[in-house]
Structures are given as structure tokens and as C-alpha cells.
Amino acid sequence: RKEVEQDPGPFNVPEGATVAFNCTYSNSASQSFFWYRQDCRKEPKLLMSVYSSGNEDGRFTAQLNRASQYISLLIRDSKLSDSATYLCVVNRNNDMRFGAGTRLTVKP
Amino acid sequence: NAGVMQNPRHLVRRRGQEARLRCSPMKGHSHVYWYRQLPEEGLKFMVYLQKENIIDESGMPKERFSAEFPKEGPSILRIQQVVRGDSAAYFCASSLRTANTGELFFGEGSRLTVL
């Protein structure tokens, strides 16, 4: 079983749509959780951290369920510029493991 | 403040040659990670190093691959006797010693092509 699993997609949505990505992780000792974004042929960049209480950054909402070992990312009012691959990341003792990513394409 | 610097950005090697990829972390960062990304695939963890120490190399192939992060100078990922399957983008990332914030700063990657 992979340490971090994501639905690879692709998700093709119209502008303005709401889209949700899910991620599961296998190591219950994982300490912290993040979503990264990677544009085509570019390096990944941190999008946001994920907390059990849920956290929001503008149109983006992230949620963590430790009991189910499940992480989610919700994007509201999708923009064309949101098109990218979204990577779920799990950290334990500074050892960061990435999911394979979910590809999102937002269309006009 | 310069970001993570990787070089070369592009490297072409023939089968059987050696590839050396270098990574200079951000100033003050002592944690370095190497990841491999095949075309249309996700990042695969290779190795995690701190200054002069390999912390976790569970993602490194057992043969031909090695990594180091010396006291002075950049981190080096070395691939000996390259094969076509080694063609990929190799990303280096660094983080602060005490950070558990998850913010890895990535370099722009080194793209290796094996002919």
C-alpha cells in the first residue's frame, strides 16, 4: 500500500465550479499534513497546511480527519489559474512524503 | 535571499555514463530532500539528508545511486552507469532545521535525459 494515496484524476471542471480532492495516508504516526501545488514542468510549492479543526485560505478549504487518516481540499469558485496538479503531503519527523497528485483542469 | 539552486538544469548522458546533480539549499537550511519525478507521474521520495548524515534513503535504488550532503558545499545526487529508465526530473528541496511547518522549498529541478 502506498504511503500517501490520491485519486489521480484528471478533474475537468468549468470556471466557477466547486471541486474536492481526497487523500488517504497509511502511517498513523504522521504528524503534519499539507497540500502543495505543482504547475506543469515546474517545481511544487506549498499551498496550505491542513489542521484537524479545518482551515480556510480564500477559496481553499483543507480538512484533516486523523481517525480515518483522510485529508481533503475543497476549491470554491474555480478559476482558470487553478489548473495544476495538487499534491497531498504527509510529514513525520521532518520526513515528507508526497502523493502522486491530482490533476485539475479548469475550463472556460 | 537565493532560493534552492539546482544544477545543471538539463543534463544529457549516454547509457553507462555517470550523472551528478547538485543542490544548494536555501541559506540556513540544513535538511535536504531529493525526489524523482517521471513524466506524467508524481514525486517519488528518494533520500533525506542533514549535514553529513543520511537520515532516510529508503527511496533510493540499492545500486548505482548515492547521495551526500557534505559539511561544506552542495548536496550531490550521483547516478552511476545510467540507463534509459533513469531519465526523469530530479527535484531537490530544503527546509529549516527546526521547522515542522511542512514548507519545503524546491529547486527548479534537474532534467536528466539518457540516450
pLDDT tens, position by position, A10-56: 999 999 999 999 999 999 988 889 999 999 889 999 999 998 888 99
Specify the pairing of strand B110-114 against strand B10-13: parallel
B8-14 average pLDDT score:
97
- A vs B: CB pairs below 8 A: 57
Tell how strand B53-56 and strand B43-50 pair up: antiparallel
**Mean pLDDT value across residues B85-109:** 84
Per-residue pLDDT at A54? 87
Q: Which of B58, B76, B59 is nearest to B67 (CA)?
A: B76
CB-based contact, A2 to chain B, within 8 Å? no
> CA-CA distances (angstroms) from residue B38 to A49, A78, A98, B84?
26, 28, 14, 12
Q: Do A32 and B101 touch (CB under 8 A)?
A: yes
3-state secondary structure of A82: helix
pLDDT at B99: 45
Q: Which of A6, A43, A101 sits opposite B108 (nearest CB)?
A: A43
Any chain B CB within 8 A of the CB of A71? no
A-chain residue closest to B47, CA distance: A95
CA distances from residue A62 to A16, A28, A33, A54, B67 in whole angstroms, order as listed: 18, 19, 10, 6, 35
Q: Rounded mean pLDDT of chain B?
A: 91
Bigger pLDDT: B17 vs B27: B17
Q: Which of A33, A95, A46, A88 is nearest to B59 (CA)?
A: A95
Test mutation, A3, A50, A98, chain B, max B CBs within 10 A: A98
Task: Output the pLDDT for position A65.
Answer: 94
| Minimum-distance CB partner of A32 among B48, B102, B108 | B102
Q: How confident is the model at residue B1 (pLDDT cuts 50, 70, 90)?
A: low
pLDDT at residue B98 greater than cutoff 60:
no
DSSP assigned state of A39: -
Mean pLDDT is lowest, of A96-105, B34-43, B55-64, for: B34-43
Is A7:A22 a contact under the CB 8 Å cutoff?
Answer: yes
pLDDT at A94: 74
* Residue environment code for A69-107, b if the CB has 16+ CB neighbours within 10 A, otherwise e: bebbbebeebeeebbbbbbbbbbbebbbbbbbbbbbebe
pLDDT of residue A15: 97
